[in-house]
Chain A
Amino acid sequence: MTAVLRRSALVVVLLASLAIPADAQSDELSFPPIDSTSWEGLVLVSGWIASDATNEDGSFTTTETDIINDTSISFELSVDDKGQVTGGTMHVNLVWFVESVGTAPTTLDPFHVSHYHHETGNLDLSGSANKLVASGSLEHESVTEAEGQKIDEVSGTETDEVEWVFSASEASCVRVAGQLTAATAGSIMNSVFVPLDVASESDHIHNELVATFIAYPATVEDPAAIKQYLDEVQQAADELSRRDLPEAIHLLAVIRPWQDLGAQLARLDQCQQASVGWQPEFTQSWLAKQIQNALHKALKEPDSYTASELIDLWDAGLEESALNSELIIQFLDAFHDKLNEAIADNDTSTIWDIYAFSSQYGYPLLHDQAQKALGVGG
């Protein structure tokens, strides 16, 4: 899995974990107070609605309305420090298609009519995240075809006055999202509120239309220093995982930028941290796992390291709480072997190193053996 994919997946986790609670006083969601007061977003309108109607004379009509994929509704808005929208525009390019087939009453002659609708224009935005209002005029073009022949039954364009109201159901430092809650009567957007399933003896309507919105900060906070540490941590971790004989310096190449990243983030408030999109991947347990993997590799080949190099690895592991019981056993076995070798070789420098280590960390077996070999102390 690539780092980008991992990061993306984890940002999703982050989004879920950093939801801003509703305002305690107003019980409303608002655009969070991030540095950026500019937000961008999309309205996602999709789906279909179908109806079947059967008359007593046996005639029937089946109609299906589909939102066409060409539809795009984007917006940008600015908010003040209280989360109120101070201005904004929604750019509407809404396309839908209505197709009806059936038989005419009495004659039961078959018919097939299709309508192409295209609504375009810009709406003004106002309100807040809890009640985001888009209002204004849209140009509405429609073309009708029947029996395979194009007819100009509705030619040219009309002007529709519309008002769409959206309400946020979640708000975080990096995303505000919600759904359409009201729309001008008779409009395609208003069809969203038709119940999912309506059935009677002669009629049946099934509605799969949805209209939601999502907004995100127009300028995501991404301090260069944090981005740099983020990349450094990832690169160093990748490099560490590829090493067969990792040394302390390679562990520290992950640990130090990770600590620097933590220091930088400590200076940011929660919203800024969320904007950076870093956290879930780079947790203490993530780091400890990287280090443990490296230490397991190293301790499979203890003969490849000097005692002081092993102590360096120990220190690096302990610095980030990566020493578990299995690793401790492996380390102590390795130190004992190193001490035996050093005593046999009369390598006093190494004996001193192990003596100091055992004195610092309180391992009496190593300590006493080294002490005896050096002929010092009690």
Chain B
Amino acid sequence: MKLRRAYYLVAALVFVVAACAQGGTSTDRGSNTTSGSGGGSPAPTGVPLVESLPSIEVVGPPETGAGEAPLFRWKPVDGATSYHLAVLGPDGPLWAWQGTETEVYLGALPFERPPGWAGPVISAGTCWSVIARDAEGHVTAVSSFLAISPTGSAASPCVPGEGEEPTP
């Protein structure tokens, strides 16, 4: 238990430091790219988040050129009572959301984020996924683990369960 605690302590510290560093650079990026809805782009693909579970079909955003606060969209799943979106930044967990809708903007504003409005932003190396839960709260379906990039540059590949955690 002690070893595990020490491991997570280091991991958590790295996460926090990385998050701070990310916050410091996010404003520096200053991208004016608008959020992409993915409506006219091909559906993104990725590796399965969890094998052996039904898939959730993702509609958007596109892997590249998604904008800093994209709109995440997926198709409804039969029997799902809630969806749980997770956005993993290059330095650790970035944002999460839970609800019954099948689309949400990063930051959960009900419309595209106005210029200068505060909130989380994605950067190159971001991955995201969504899972569906049943009434008892258990996972029933999962999306792929999808790479996303705010600009037109290629997104980094995403591998489930592999965080950038240091070894103890």
Query: Which residues of chain A have a CB within 8 Å of any CB of chain B?
Result: 248, 252, 259-260, 262-263, 266, 284, 306, 308-309, 311-312, 314-316, 318-319, 321, 323-326, 328-329, 332-333, 336, 349-350, 352-353, 355-356, 358-365, 367-368, 371, 374, 376-377
| B137 in contact with A353 (CB, 8 Å) | yes
Interface stretch among B29-37, B48-56, B71-79?
B48-56
Interface stretch among B61-69, B91-99, B147-155?
B91-99
Docked complex Cα distance between A319 and B93 (Å): 10
Residues of chain B contacted by A262 (CB below 8 angstroms): 109
With A315-B98, A353-B139 as known contacts, state yes or no: A363 contacts B163, CB within 8 Å: yes
| B163 in contact with A361 (CB, 8 Å) | yes
B47 smallest CB distance to A (angstroms): 10
Partner of B50, one of A248, A259, A359, A361: A359
Partner of A356, one of B12, B49, B110: B49
With A262-B109, A308-B137, A362-B88 as known contacts, state yes or no: A284 contacts B118, CB within 8 Å: yes
Question: What are 30 A-B pairs with beta-carbon distances under 8 A?
Answer: A259-B109, A260-B110, A262-B109, A266-B109, A266-B114, A308-B136, A312-B98, A316-B98, A328-B8, A329-B9, A332-B8, A332-B11, A350-B138, A352-B139, A353-B137, A355-B50, A356-B50, A359-B50, A359-B145, A359-B160, A360-B49, A360-B84, A360-B88, A360-B160, A361-B93, A362-B162, A362-B165, A363-B163, A364-B161, A368-B161
| A266 in contact with B117 (CB, 8 Å) | yes
Residues of chain B contacted by A312 (CB below 8 angstroms): 84, 98, 137
A317 smallest CB distance to B (angstroms): 8
CB-nearest residue of chain B relative to A265?
B117
| A363 in contact with B161 (CB, 8 Å) | yes
Residues of chain B contacted by A314 (CB below 8 angstroms): 96
Total residues of chain B contacting the partner, CB 8 A: 49
CB-nearest residue of chain A relative to B141?
A356
| B12 in contact with A359 (CB, 8 Å) | no
| B52 in contact with A315 (CB, 8 Å) | no
Partner of A358, one of B9, B109, B161: B161
With A311-B84, A377-B51 as known contacts, state yes or no: A319 contacts B109, CB within 8 Å: no
| B165 in contact with A319 (CB, 8 Å) | no
Partner of A318, one of B49, B52, B96, B145: B96
Number of residue pairs A-B, CB distance < 8 angstroms: 134
Partner of B138, one of A316, A352, A374: A352
Residues of chain A contacted by B16 (CB below 8 angstroms): 324-325, 328
The verdict on B86 contacting chain A, using a C-beta distance below 8 Å, is yes
Partner of A315, one of B12, B50, B84, B160: B84
CB-nearest residue of chain A relative to B137?
A308
B143 smallest CB distance to A (angstroms): 10
| B50 in contact with A363 (CB, 8 Å) | no
| A308 in contact with B12 (CB, 8 Å) | no
Residues of chain A contacted by B86 (CB below 8 angstroms): 315, 318, 360-361
| B162 in contact with A364 (CB, 8 Å) | yes
Cβ-closest 6 pairs across A and B: A362-B163, A367-B161, A308-B137, A359-B160, A360-B86, A325-B12
With A315-B86, A359-B161, A364-B161 as known contacts, state yes or no: A353 contacts B138, CB within 8 Å: yes
| B4 in contact with A356 (CB, 8 Å) | no
Residues of chain A contacted by B129 (CB below 8 angstroms): 359-360
Docked complex Cα distance between A94 and B88 (Å): 67
Residues of chain A contacted by B96 (CB below 8 angstroms): 314-316, 318-319
A199 smallest CB distance to B (angstroms): 56
Partner of B4, one of A284, A333, A350: A333
B131 smallest CB distance to A (angstroms): 5
| A356 in contact with B93 (CB, 8 Å) | no
| Interface 1/0 per residue, B14-50 and A, CB below 8 Å | 0110000000000000000000000000000000011
Partner of A371, one of B53, B84, B114, B161: B161
Docked complex Cα distance between A238 and B110 (Å): 25
Residues of chain B contacted by A259 (CB below 8 angstroms): 108-109
Docked complex Cα distance between A309 and B98 (Å): 12
Residues of chain A contacted by B59 (CB below 8 angstroms): none
Docked complex Cα distance between A252 and B97 (Å): 10
B84 smallest CB distance to A (angstroms): 6
